[in-house]
């Protein structure tokens, strides 16, 4: 890969990072899936088949695909890198003071591939073969009070959706503070990739925002700590960042990010869409995504009620100028230099549209202007796209969609051209 940077939502897509369904998905059960933010368990082998087919489509479209597990394994080869990762994942907050040192030592001694597997797939007490657990039972309350199959490190099944843990905006990246504890350790893994892998390290990647700054343990912020997830972050191009503010992304974090981007000249304005806090539309990209330079898809039931704000650089002692816009879609059109956007709604009647929005009908991935990848199950929405002249590449998503994410969520763009 010769370039990094994301300059639009629909320009030619050149490179992405993905995560293939793995042991972390196998750890989901009917009893624990909601704890890990899943509504159901997935048929893992089928999900892998669907993901492999999705990646093949991207490759055939000329997109370079990087697997996060491969990048992380490479990063963990040097001992100092393993120490950096392990010391941030395993600390007195996560495993208790007594178990901290021995668990760290055990993980550092693992082979890079094994460690990468457990950092995402989780680690149970009985899998800690290098630790004398009978002795730990006498010194560690978390070990003594839990069964052998309890997690020392929890699995991170939402790694399937790398869109959220980091976001590329222009030539820089954010490492995001995730809203829920079940996702927060993902930032350590992706942060290590950007910090140590030569693809990123040797290019001097700019960091607009990182929840890892400040030392170990900060990836597990206190309740109420500002949060931001990549499904709410859309660099739509032409000097504008579009951001959702709702269940997963907070106003203080967006204001912090806006200040950095505006002061550096990376963007000229930030448009913020304020959403209700609802599982069905946890991120902006679940109800809105771009299909072409002047065409978008929306779930009208949500988007027509969005409050929309525009942030630009302030004057004098005021760092920002915040203005409320009259209409979300008009604000986006204006930012893109368009008089009006062509809007393609979620397809079908009221009931079919609700089902297809839930199954990621609006969460599509553009590989170039006017050409998108979408789940085949959303037949009414895909029909609307085609009627509007959009070239739709359908992929099967009967299992992947159970995780509540489509092609947009399944990818973290690393290089996308502008418009």
Distance CA 409, CA 401 (A): 10
Structure tokens at 296: 């978008």
- Position 221 scores a pLDDT of 41
Q: What is the dihedral of CA 144, 147, 148, 152, to 10 degrees?
A: -70
Range with the lowest mean pLDDT among 199-213, 245-259, 373-387? Answer: 199-213
- The Cα 140–Cα 364 span in angstroms is 47
160: which 2 tokens?
A: 């399937």
pLDDT over threshold 50, residue 67? yes
Q: Give me the mean pLDDT over the 353-377 stretch.
A: 95
Using pLDDT thresholds of 50, 70 and 90, give the confidence band for residue 236.
very high
DSSP letter (8 states) at residue 165:
T
In order of 5, 9, 46, 55, 375, the CA distances from 51 in angstroms are 24, 21, 9, 6, 11
Are residues 199 and 91 part of one domain? no
Q: Do 303 and 258 belong together in one domain?
A: yes
Q: Do 149 and 297 fall within a single domain? A: no
CA 401 – CA 334 distance, rounded (Å): 33
Mark whether 265 and 406 lie in a shared domain.
yes
Q: Which pLDDT belongs to residue 317?
A: 79
State residue 140's pLDDT score. 80
Residue 214 banded pLDDT, cuts 50, 70, 90? very low
Same domain, 182 and 88: no
Neighbours of 60 (CB within 10 A): 10
Residue 69 has pLDDT above 70, yes or no: yes
pLDDT higher than 60, residue 220: no
Domain range spanning residue 32?
5-68+157-416
d(Cα 94, Cα 100) in Å, to the nearest integer? Answer: 8
In this structure, the answer to whether residues 121 and 176 fall within a common structural domain is: no
pLDDT at 211 > cutoff 70: yes
* Res 218: pLDDT: 36
Task: List residues with catalytic annotation.
Answer: 409
> Are 276 and 333 in the same domain?
yes
Domain end position, chosen among 89, 122, 153: 153
pLDDT at 15 over 60: yes
Number of structural domains the chain divides into: 2
Residue 215 has pLDDT above 60, yes or no: no
Same domain, 117 and 241: no
User: In the numeric block, which tokens belong to residue 256?
Assistant: 């912090």
Same domain, 287 and 358: yes
């Amino acid at each position: 890969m010769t370039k990094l940077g994301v300059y639009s939502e629909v320009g030619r897509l050149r490179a992405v990072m993905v995560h293939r369904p793995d042991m972390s998905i196998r750890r989901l059960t009917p009893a624990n899936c909601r704890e890990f933010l899943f509504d159901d368990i997935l048929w893992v082998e089928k999900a892998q088949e669907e993901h492999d087919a999705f990646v093949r489509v991207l490759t055939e479209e000329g997109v370079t695909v990087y697997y996060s597990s491969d990048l992380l394994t490479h990063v963990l080869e040097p001992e100092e890198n393993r120490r950096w990762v392990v010391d941030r994942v395993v600390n007195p907050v996560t495993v208790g003071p007594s178990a901290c040192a021995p668990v760290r030592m055990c993980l550092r001694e693992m082979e890079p591939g094994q460690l990468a597997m457990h950092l995402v797939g989780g680690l149970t007490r009985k899998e800690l073969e290098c630790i004398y657990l009978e002795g730990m039972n006498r010194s560690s309350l978390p070990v003594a009070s839990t069964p052998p199959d309890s997690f020392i490190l929890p699995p991170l099944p939402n790694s399937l959706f790398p869109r959220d843990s980091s976001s590329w905006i222009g030539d820089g990246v954010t490492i995001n503070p995730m809203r829920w504890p079940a996702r927060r350790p993902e930032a350590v893994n992706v942060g290590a990739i950007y910090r140590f892998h030569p693809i990123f390290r040797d290019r001097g990647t700019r960091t607009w925002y990182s929840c890892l700054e400040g030392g170990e343990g900060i990836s597990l912020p206190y309740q109420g700590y500002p949060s931001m997830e990549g499904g709410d972050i859309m660099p739509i191009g032409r000097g504008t960042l579009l951001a959702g503010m709702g269940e997963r992304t907070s106003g203080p974090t967006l204001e912090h990010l806006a200040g950095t981007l505006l002061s550096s000249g990376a963007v000229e304005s930030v448009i913020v869409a304020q959403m209700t806090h609802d599982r069905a539309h946890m991120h902006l990209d679940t109800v809105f995504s771009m299909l072409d330079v002047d065409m978008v898809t929306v779930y009208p039931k949500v988007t027509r009620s969005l409050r929309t704000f525009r942030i630009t650089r302030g004057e004098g002692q005021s760092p920002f100028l915040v203005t409320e816009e009259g209409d979300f879609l008009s604000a986006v059109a204006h930012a893109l230099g368009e008089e009006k956007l062509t809007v393609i709604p979620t397809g079908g009647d009221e009931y079919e549209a609700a089902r297809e929005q839930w199954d990621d009908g609006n969460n599509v991935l553009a590989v170039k202007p006017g050409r998108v990848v979408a789940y085949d199950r959303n037949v009414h929405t895909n029909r609307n796209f085609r009627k509007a002249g959009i070239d739709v590449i359908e992929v099967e998503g009967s299992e992947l969609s159970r995780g509540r994410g489509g092609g947009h969520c399944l990818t973290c763009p690393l290089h996308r051209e502008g418009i």
